[in-house]
């Protein structure tokens, strides 16, 4: 059955991690779902690169963090925070492409 990430997660957010990196957190509603998504391996570097139109090397990491039932991806910011061309100084509104991701669970 196909389901969207926004139905599986309690938190989907983005935020600066320093002025040059942006970090995306997905905190799942329960451990079972988290473990299922991790086992399927659907949230990975190529997926994040595709969602945000990035080169593979611009996705710095995708980390599973079991204590919080969370998956965290960190990407290179399009520019240093506040540089010319900035769109989101705090990086707090870059999460939306994750919300409608669809999976077969």
For other proteins, the binding residues (CB under 8 A) are 11, 15-21, 23, 25, 27, 51-54, 60-61, 63, 65, 67-70, 72, 74, 76-78, 80-90, 93-94, 96-97
Q: Using CA atoms, how far apart are residues 51 and 43, in angstroms rounded to an integer?
A: 11
Minimum CB distance to other proteins, residue 99 (Å) = 12
Taking the C-alpha atoms of residue 13 and residue 59, their distance in angstroms, rounded to an integer, is 16
Tokens representing 69? 């039932």
39 or 85: CB nearest other proteins: 85
Which of 39, 53 has the CB closer to other proteins?
Answer: 53
Least distance to other proteins, CB of residue 33, Å? 14
Distances from the Cα of 32 to the Cαs of 38, 52, 66, 67, 95, in angstroms?
10, 28, 11, 13, 23
Question: At closest approach, how far in Å is the CB of 93 from other proteins?
Answer: 5
Q: How far is the CB of 1 from other proteins (least distance, A)?
A: 24
Rounded to whole angstroms, the Cα distance separating 61 from 14 reads 14
């Amino acid at each position: 059955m196909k389901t969207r990430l926004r139905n599986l997660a309690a938190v989907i957010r983005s935020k600066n991690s320093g002025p040059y990196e942006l970090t995306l957190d997905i905190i799942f509603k329960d451990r079972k779902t988290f473990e299922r998504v991790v086992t399927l391996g659907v949230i990975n570097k190529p997926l994040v690169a595709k969602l945000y139109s990035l080169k593979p090397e611009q996705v710095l990491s995708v980390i599973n963090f079991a204590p919080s039932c969370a998956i965290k991806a960190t990407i290179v910011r399009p520019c240093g925070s506040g540089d010319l061309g900035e769109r989101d100084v705090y990086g707090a509104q870059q999460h939306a492409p994750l919300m409608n991701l669809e999976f077969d669970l």
